[in-house]
Amino acid sequence: MENSQSSSFSLPLRGVIPPMVTPLNEDYSLDTESLEKLIHHILEGGVKGLFILGTTGEGPSLPYQLRHEMVQEVCRIVASRVPVLVCITDTIFSEAIGLAHKAHEAGAAAVVTAPPYYFPLNATDLYQYIEQMAAALPLPLFLYNIPSHTKTAFSDETILKAAKLSNVIGYKDSTCDMLGFHRLHPLLDVNFTQLIGPEELLGEFVLMGGHGGVSGGANVFPKLYTSLCQAALQGDIEKVVKLQNKVGEVSATLYSLDGQSGTSVLQGIKLALSVMGICQEHLAPPLRQLGKEKKNMVEKFLNAFNF
């Protein structure tokens, strides 16, 4: 079914939509040269979209001017080859709507929001917030459930109610709650896009009827993740198991370089991309880059990794 508000993609959106990192210079300005390299690298891997300014993109840490610049540059470089999804999550409603309008003007296909991440909201408050936001948006909206970072979760009831709003078209789940997926899946319209964040569940999620994944590792190995998702969409269980194990190698190595901290995933992905010569390692404060010892570990892993 073609989305009535955007002609750039059909629903449900299937495949891997990487949560792209934001390449930065040492002074924390946008590294547009590296951004071009990164987008070329990712699109060559056969991805079905790009998700920018989310968790992996360090969205909440970036100045508004840089977020706007990122939207403009990504849409320019992508040139409508795949849909661009822009995360507008914010504690300030007007800023979220302003970024959505910037995304629309630049040519993005949709926007994404998690719950505002300061005041805890009950289910009624959260639904009313989404209802108000959806009515003010110039683009279709994906919901983003990541209570580990927002402290407020989308309940099943809220998702089902929001899914009936005319321009709420999908849902990204980063909770690792497969039971929640099994509860919701049969109750949602077949064209309501369901995507998963945790990479260790990508194969299982798609085999069980999910549509794809927002996989951070696809910044580094886009072909691996798109191959896994395609195998799952085709029901090739043997290939899914093989490729899911390869994804496990990536997460086991790159995502624990700084222990089990909540920022180790971002550090590992950017470090790997810097070793590959795609973008610099700089992270926006309060995050920090890793040292030379970790870089040597990543170099050895990348040299030995076979895919």
Q: Is the dihedral of CA 122, 125, 131, 136 positive or negative?
A: negative
Contact by Cβ (8 Å): 244, 66: no
Domains of the chain by range and CATH?
Answer: 15-236 (3.20.20.70)
Q: Look up residue 157 and give its two tokens.
A: 């009831």
User: Which pTM was predicted?
Assistant: 0.95
Give the per-residue pLDDT at 306.
Answer: 84
Q: Residue ranges of the chain with pLDDT lower than 70?
A: 1-8, 260-262
CA distances from 153 to 32, 120, 161, 207 (A): 34, 9, 14, 25
Give the per-residue pLDDT at 4.
Answer: 36
Query: What does the pLDDT look like over 261-282, one tens digit per residue?
Result: 667 899 999 999 999 999 999 9
Contact by Cβ (8 Å): 86, 108: yes
Q: What are phi and psi of 96, to 5 degrees?
A: -60, -45
**Parallel/antiparallel/unpaired status of strands 168-173 and 141-145:** parallel
Q: Which residues of 89-103 are buried (b: 16+ CB within 10 A; e: fewer)?
A: bbeeeeebbbbbebb
Give the per-residue pLDDT at 260.
Answer: 64
Cα 156 versus chain centre, distance: 21
Number of Cβ within a 10 Å radius of residue 135: 10
Strand blocks (E) in the chain: 15-16, 50-52, 84-87, 110-113, 141-145, 168-173, 193-196, 212-213, 257-260
> Which of helix, strand or coil describes residue 116?
coil
Contact by Cβ (8 Å): 75, 89: no
Give the per-residue pLDDT at 263.
Answer: 79
Give the per-residue pLDDT at 6.
Answer: 42
Query: What does the pLDDT look like over 183-214, one tens digit per residue?
Result: 999 999 999 999 999 999 999 999 999 999 99
Give the per-residue pLDDT at 5.
Answer: 38
Contact by Cβ (8 Å): 50, 42: yes
Cα–Cα distance for residue pair 138/134, rounded to 1 Å: 9
Check residue 171 and report its DSSP letter: E
Q: How far apart are the first and last CA of the chain?
A: 35
